[in-house]
Structure 1
Amino acid sequence: MTVLLDIDQLRTFIAIAETGSFTKAADVVHKTQSAVSMQMKRLEERVGKPIFARDGRSSRLTDEGERLLDYARRIVKLNMEAVASLASAELSGRVRLGVPDDYADRYLPEIMARFSATHPNVELTVVCDPSTDLIDRIDTGDLDLAIITDCEMINRETEIIRREQLLWIGSTRHSVHLEDPVPLALGRQSCNWRQEAISMLQAVGRPFRILYTSSNSTAVSAAVLSGLAISVLPESGLRPGMRVLGPSDGFPALAPCRIGLLRNRHEASALADALANHIVQGLDNISEAAIAAE
């Protein structure tokens, strides 16, 4: 007799695999812990093999569980695609997008204009937070989609949608980059760009001091434009009045950053898929030449 796998059980199974905990997964799929445990008992009965092994307080996958996980993700994804393809062309409702404020000014106008034109009955809610916070909000189901940076630093399945060079930035009207030690305006301590900047300056023996710390890109840019400090920004963060600093100025080349799209796979919808398509298309329309010309 052919065994049919239950989509809802597979969604819960994926949540447990990604969070490492039945308790955390219960929050993600909006079920009680006992309901989650019962679902996994039924799933193991369906496949006829144990898929979890206890590891202290965490739950790790058995070899059979690891094999099932790959199939589960593909089955759930295909189910979502099928539902989206059959959805009404006239979409309505609400979709929630998270984006770091580093990119909000540059990316959102294009994305919002295109999306509003094709889906006028949809309410778009936008949250501006650092990437690490957006990842947490995706995990807890507070967001449908999130544009995040430094994707290689997180353990998530992320769709890379753009790559940009990370640059040292100063003011065109000031010479603060000549100061010793050089004053810096950077993100909070968990910011990967901050860590990259400090690491590179230390590697070349360039003295520095942290003058301003903020997770808000507007505040960091204000410190740069006023001639108070040097910072690091991606190419799309360049603004009139800023100059790019390089090795000839005593600032070593920085690694490029990757920008990715993170989806809430537990509550995917046709709206989220439609917005994701506009995000990818919108970022494709932002050419490197246009950025350099600013």
Structure 2
Amino acid sequence: MTVLLDIDQLRTFMAIAESGSFTKASEVVHKTQSAVSMQMKRLEERVGKPIFTRDGRASKLTDEGERLLDYARRIVKLNMEAVASLANAELSGRVRLGVPDDYADRYLPEIMARFSNTHPNVELTVVCDPSTDLMDRIDTGDLDLAIITDCDNYHRSETEIIRREQLLWVGSIRHALHLEPTVPLALGRQSCNWRQEAIKELQSLGKPFRILYTSSNSTAVSAAVLSGLAISVLPESGLRPGMRVLGPADGFPPLPPCRIGLLRNRHEPSALADALANHVIQGLDNISEAQAAE
């Protein structure tokens, strides 16, 4: 008898695998923890093998779970592509997307091109602001969707985590600022979580530093790095030619990963916003696959 896998169960399975916890996954998929546990019990019954094992308080994948995860990602992605290309081809109107400029250069070109090809009659309005401002604009109804950095100090339970990236120290490949007694830094504004993490890590090491440039614009921060004026903190997708990643051997401690999430306007849901959300998720998945191939 052929076993058919349930798409919703696979999405929950992926959330657990990525977060390492049934509790955290329940927030991502907007289900109770008991509902998540029941879904995974049924999924294990479908595949006939255990897919999770306990490691302290965390949930780790078994070998069979690792194999299933690869298939789950492909199945869910193909499902979203099919829905986007067939169900909403006739949509028209306007949809508003917010994104921090840290991600705009890397993510938007592919997302906008694919969305425009699929929905040629839709007007896409893009707003570039810091994540905290985008959250406020979602709450006031000024945006339909927002791509945000989801951090511990302003985590929103309704945020869908769609990508994780390592946060990195970066400098110019042509300069050696990391050898200076007092490290010059180019960072975001004071509310920026990446700035707070960078300062906390340097202070914990007792490493002298000074804030040389402050800007919420990633292009300006990158310019300071590439010109050899300062060191900064960027996610993997923000690396540019001419930048050098700095690690413990250079005197810089490891930084935590950053979570990239999708926040929806829950007060005014729309088919247009759902269609764009599918393209955002697909676009980030495509970037992840391309980086893995490299």
Pairwise same-fold verdict (TM > 0.5) = yes
Task: Provide the secondary structure at the position in 2 that maps to 1:108.
Answer: helix
Residue 245 of structure 2 is matched in structure 1 by 244
Residue 206 of structure 1 is matched in structure 2 by 207
Q: What amino acid is the match of 1:204?
A: L
Q: What amino acid is the match of 1:111?
A: I
Q: What amino acid is the match of 1:203?
A: S
Query: Cα distance, 1:176 vs. partner?
Result: 1.1
Residue 257 of structure 1 is matched in structure 2 by 258
Query: Cα distance, 1:154 vs. partner?
Result: 2.3
Q: RMSD over aligned Cα, in angstroms? A: 2.2
The answer to whether the 8 A contact 1:236-1:291 is kept is no
For 1:291 and 1:251, how far apart are their aligned partners in 2?
25
Residues paired across the two proteins, number: 212
Cα offsets for 1:38-94 (capped at 9, x unmatched): xxxxxxxxxxxxxxxxxxxxxxxxxxxxxxxx99xxxxxxxxxxxx9xx86400000
After TM superposition, the structure 1 = structure 2 runs for residues 99-118 of structure 1, keeping only pairs within 5 Å, are 99-118=99-118
TM-score (norm 2): 0.69
Query: Cα distance, 1:151 vs. partner?
Result: 4.1
The answer to whether the 8 A contact 1:151-1:158 is kept is no
Residue 96 of structure 2 is matched in structure 1 by 96
Residue 187 of structure 2 is matched in structure 1 by 186
After TM superposition, the structure 1 = structure 2 runs for residues 63-142 of structure 1, keeping only pairs within 5 Å, are 89-142=89-142
Residue 79 of structure 1 is matched in structure 2 by none
CA pair 292-135 structure 1, distance change in 2 beyond 3 A: farther
Query: Cα distance, 1:205 vs. partner?
Result: 1.1
Cα offsets for 1:175-198 (capped at 9, x unmatched): 111111100000000000000000
Task: Provide the secondary structure at the position in 1 that maps to 2:161.
Answer: strand
The answer to whether the 8 A contact 2:88-2:275 is kept is no
For 2:276 and 2:248, how far apart are their aligned partners in 1?
40
For 1:292 and 1:178, how far apart are their aligned partners in 2?
33
Gaps of 5+ in 2: 1-30, 33-83
The answer to whether the 8 A contact 1:235-1:291 is kept is no
The structure whose Rg is larger is: 1
The answer to whether the 8 A contact 2:188-2:216 is kept is yes
For 1:231 and 1:288, how far apart are their aligned partners in 2?
26
For 2:94 and 2:169, how far apart are their aligned partners in 1?
38
Task: Provide the secondary structure at the position in 1 that maps to 2:287.
Answer: coil
Structure 1 runs of 4+ aligned residues shifted over 4 Å read none
For 2:126 and 2:188, how far apart are their aligned partners in 1?
21
Q: What amino acid is the match of 1:143?
A: L
Percent of pairs with identical residues: 86
